[in-house]
Every structure is written in C-alpha cells, then in structure tokens.
Structure 1
Amino acid sequence: MPRRVVAFLIAGFVAGCGLADEDGVRDRTDVAAAEVAAGSDDPDEAAEVAVPGEFDGELHGPDLMVMGSETLPDGFVDEVRELAGVRAAASLSVSSVAVGERAITVAGGDLGRIRAFTPEATATNDDVWEVISAGDIALEHGIGADLDGPLGGALDVRTRGMGMTLRIGAYAATIPGVDGVVNERRAGQLGITRDNAVVLSAGRAELVDLAESIRSMTGEHAVVRSLADEQDTVRGGERGSRRLANLSGGSVAEAVGSFRYRYFSDGTVEPDPDWVSANIRTARVPLLGRVTCHRVLLSQLRAALEEIVERGLADAIDPADYGGCYVPRFIGRDPARGLSLHTWGIAVDINVSTNQRGTPGEIDRDVVAIFQRWGFAWGGHWEWTDPMHFELARLVQPR
C-alpha cells in the first residue's frame, strides 16, 4: 500500500494567497493541511519519492541557470562545479507545461539538492518538501494567485497530449524563474526532459565572466541566464532578457521545438528569428482567411475548417471575430504570469466576443467536436473556461 503523508497548515494561509510582490512573501511558505495520497499501487501512477532528511546544510544563493532543450552532457555539472568562483551547482529537469492558456515553468530533480538553492523559509520547512515528495507541486505565490488555485486544490496541466491533475501542496518561493517544483518522478510523468538544466551559486565571482565561460562549454545547446538580475536591457543593442522556451514531452512538443527568446518590460516577446523562420508560416485557410501559425498546426486547422464547411456549419464561425494564432507575448504582458501558448503559434482564438474567459461560451458544440477530432483541445473544458481557445494537443494526419 502506498505511504500516506500528513502535512500541516502553517503561516496563516488565506485562500487566494499573496501576490508575488507583497511584503514578506518570499519569507513565507504555505502548506496544505490535508492528508496526501503519496501514490498508488500502479507504478505508472505512483509519484512518491523518499522525503529528504531535515535540512541542516548550507544555503546557496542561486545566481545563474543553464538550460537546454535536451539532457546536458554527462559530467557537465561536475565541470561547472570546477569553474573558478562556483560555490555549488545542482542538476535540474526544467520545462514548460500548459495550464489553461499559458505555459508555466516547472522544475524537478533531487529535492535534497534543490532545497539548498531556495530561500531559507522554504529550505528549512520540512512540510514543503514532504508534500513535494508525495507527488504534489509547490507553486510560487504569484503564479498561484494568478491561477486562483486554492491550497490543497487541483492544478490541471496538459502534457504528452493528455491532461494530468496535480495537487497544489504548497505555496513557496523556490528558484527565480521557476513557477513550480515537483519531485523527479512527477517530472518524468509530466514529460519534462531529464537533467536539462543546472542552477549554480557563484558567490563573489563575476557573473558576466562566469556566464561567458559556461556558454563556451555549451555552445548553442543551452541558454545561460542570470537569476540574480533579471533586469531588461534597452532596445537596440543587446536587447531584452534572454530565456529558453521548451514545452514538456509529447509529439506536439517535439514537433514545435524549443526556442530562445528575448522579453522586454512592456511584456512583448521576440522569439529567435531562426526558429520563427523555420516554423512560423502565413497561409490561407477556409473561413478565417490568412492566418499566421506554427507550420505543424496549419494542416490540421485547414482540415478542421474544411469539415466545418462541408457539414454546413460555416455560419458558426465569424471571420471578423478571429483572435489570432501566432501572437508572442506573456499572459497579460506580465513576465511573472508565464508565456501564452500563442507564442508557439499552436493555438487559435475564434468567435472571441461571445466566448470570454470564465463563461460556457456560445460556440457551436458541433464545431468543438470537429476541432477535437482534428487534434485540438478546447478551452471550454478547462476548470476556468476559455471557450474561444483551441490548442493543438495531438498530431493528426490529414486525409
């Protein structure tokens, strides 16, 4: 029988949580006061790992993160640790998973190592690591408040072309730029590429020089970014803060690829021009006319719209109320809220004015069924509905 874990409510949690910029939020952790099923007898379903022992080690301020779209080479972490100025380094598995209309960044790995790179209030709180060990996710306060997910409630994520429900076991500050932490077994279930990232503490080392040394080791296979200073640079020269967008596993994630991008204080995003050139296409499709999307979406979108016309449902879609497909941006143009899935060009919004967030929507359900048959997930099925939104969930070969 699976072990069961009991965690306790601490720090006066109030449903809805504090925003990320509230005073003292990074010094606070909130843990679900509920019994947590740590897994099941089915090894394909169990997500429990051993609970790390009581933390009595040294805290390491996270300064740099190295992140690639693939597993980093064997021995890479050891090489990083040997660089002058590096105090500590730990391997992570990091990727983006879809939650509603956004992609949030989730990290997994050896919890005993990860906790040393988190703030003291999180690192020393055994209850946080106990619920993560049991298979829960620990979310940053800001992203949790934005998702409006209650502590102990469900977080519905999409990966590998299917849905998975995680329990929100804690709200806690973890590693800058990471929205949620899971254990390594849960990370594998989410399809997150194993050991594709490294977080490191540089102490008094010059971060710019250290980052350049690491870039010379990784070449074009990874992005190195500062966690200590996420300030945007001015447009025109070295433009914007640089990150890597990498969706978690499945045929769609593999097909759309990962890309580097720059972002700016106004919330705009500029994906790598080479990725855009290789993947983003403008084409004409039935009903909507000219659309700009990821190339792997276009054939399935065209097939779905052709069937809608054939079935006499053309009047159910208003071309003038089309909300776009490839629209690179953060949700609400706020970097703290995660990338919109439109940044990958794998989602379309139709009949926008009559299908707003949080409503059942007025879109014809026969149209929904056709889109689903052609590999699209519908936002109207989400807990917080988004009925205008259709997103590529699986690859389907057109007839």
Structure 2
Amino acid sequence: MGVAPRRARLALVSAVALLGAACAAPADDPDPDASNAASSTSTPPGEGGEPSATYARYEVDPPGEYDGRLNGDDMLLVSTETIPDDVVEQILAIRIAGQKAVTAAEPLSIGEFSLENKGYRVAAVDAADYRRFTPQTSAVLQDAWDRVAAGEIAVDQALEPRLPVDKDGYLAVGSGERTFPIHVGAFVDQVGTIDAVVNTEWGEQLGLVENNALVLYTGVISPQALRKKLKPIVGDISMTDLDIVAEEGIDPNTFQTAVLVGTFSEAVGVFNYTPIGGGRIQPDPAWVREHIVTETVPILGELTCNKYMMPQLKAALAEVQRRGLANEIKYHVGCYYPRFIHGSTTLSNHSFGLAIDINSLENQRGTVGQMHPDVVSIFKYWGFAWGGDWAYTDPMHFELEQIKNPG
C-alpha cells in the first residue's frame, strides 16, 4: 500500500547543532507595533544561560520527557483559515478496508516568512505532540524541544549552512511590522515541508492563523488511498503527501541494504534504506528517482509504482477492461509504500513498488475473498503472483513475479 520517500532527513544525534545559551533572548522585548525587520537589530543573548525577564512572555510549559511514541508524517493539510473541529472529527472517522485511515493527527498553525528573497514555512506547535511526528533522532532531543517551549526557534537541519542567522544566533522571522529576531535554539529535522517551528505564544505574536494545518499519520493506509476519502471533506484545503516529496541531494544515514531476489532483480536493483519508525523505511532517494513513477493506468487512474511493473500492470488492467470485468476492480489501497511486512523486519514488496492491493475490504487476509477468478487469471498471465494462493491468504494482493514484455 503506497507511500513514497520521506522528505525529512534522518540525522545522527551527534550531528544536531544546538546554538547559544539555553533560552537566550534579546535585551529588548519585541514590540508588535515596532518594526524589527533585520536580525542585526537584535542584541546579544543573555549571560549565564538564563532568559531575560522580558523574553519570558514567549515561554510555554515545557514538553516533559519524551514518552517514546512515534508517528509518521504522511500528509500535511494546509488551509488559509482555521480548520474547523467538525472537519477534524470527520477526518479522524475515515475508515478504509475496515481500518482507521488516520492513526494520528496534530494541529499546527502555519505561515511563511521571507529572508534574502527566499520563502520559508514556519509552524507554531505544541512541542510535546509535534515531536512525535518528526524522525526519531529528532523526537528524542529533549534540549531542542525544551528550547522551543522556552521561546526559541528550531530550524530544519538542512537549512543550517545557508540560513542568514546573525552573529548572535538570531533569525528575523515574520513579515513587515510583525518581524522579530528569534534566537535559534536548534537545527533539527522537521515534519515534511516545514522549515522551522516556534511555540504557540510566538505563533500568536507572529500573526499565524491558529490551527490552519493538520499533519496526518496514516499507519498502514496509503496517503494515495486516503486522498479520495479526504477530498469531499476538506474541499479546497491543500493536501500534500509528504512521503512522495523526493528532494535532490538527500543523503540519509544508511542502516540497511535491500536486495530483491527473483528473475527481475537486475531490473529493480539494490537500494539502501533507513528505518524511520511506524514500520516504515526511507529508501535511497536516488533509487526512488530511478525506479518509482506516477502514471495513469486503466480502471484505477493515477498510480505510483515501480516503472518496471507499469507495462505489465497496464496490460493486465487493459485486458480486464477489454473482457468486461472492469467493475470487478473497484479501488486500490496502494502500490508503492516503503515499509516492512506488518510485525516483522522483512521488507514488503510494496517497498519496491512491485505489488498492488485491490478491493481490500472484500479481500481481507486469511479469507478466501471475493476476487473474480478471471481477474486472477489475467494478472497471473501478465506475470503477477496472487496472495490468494498463499498458505495464509491475502486475496487483495498481487505482486510482480516475472518480467514480461507486452510487446
């Protein structure tokens, strides 16, 4: 079931840079009626690691010790207005294939600021909850989240070499008359496309629209499958599948190497990957760019899979359609989804984009299912193995078993 590679970099704890004295602050309290457009207007941090008295107005309660819980950042919804509570409730109630489609959700207040003609996305967050949606190496960094709660800003680690932080460690955040120097407390990997985070007190000061965004964790359900269910609920709210954002130059720390065995192993190749929590992995982005594509296929429409499977998948679905069986394939719940097989450390063939799950609600694991035998025969002809033949059946599941040329 399909998700694609995370944007967030998984970084070693030792590589995270923490700047300056804890809770360091400008000597003068930022005034919402005064323009502090340049970080050079800030004064040096307070001495001895203590915040100035005036800076305390931007503190919130500390997040407390990390409890070990970790969610994925699968999808980000962003609106121009506060997302109503009833919309959030409807999103949390969505079920796909008998399962909750949204395992966890966290409201954020998102806005943008510009520095040196470049735009950056900033979010006001509850550090205790938000940290669970970041990579594990970020979530465990107690000092970083304590600093956010104390009024500092945490910036995405990828921006450290090029962000214009002044000599005292301050960053000019905001726009126009609502621009303030905020001390950078940490460079640490963030959720999805977010560049920096502050606490909710700073969010109010910066004029961010309260709770105009939601980060969603879909668990074993593909964001692709969730999109169709979300559209009638969220309307024009922007939806970004965070796990299909492939960024140039990402070089994640490599924990494992995946080698696919079988008659098509040379075509698929080998990729390095990093476990990122929630049973998912982050494949080498170079491999993803080379092998994973999004194309339109018969019956199902737009689908993200391995490019070596696409010709056979299109041929199988075209034959299903030609034989008048298109109504037997009602929906899919994903193709490319880089993850382990549930409850194991073995990679699913979805990690390679070489499997597709069809009509999952009617074809649960361990059952005979309701897959039409002619549909099964067509897929087998085009080189797919069927999970309904397995000892522990999975009748929704078809995976590429051999390469065939549609000709």
TM-score (norm 1): 0.49
Q: TM-score, normalised by structure 2?
A: 0.48
Name which structure has the greater RCO, CA cutoff 8 Å, separation 6+: 2
Q: Of the two, which has the highest radius of gyration? A: 2
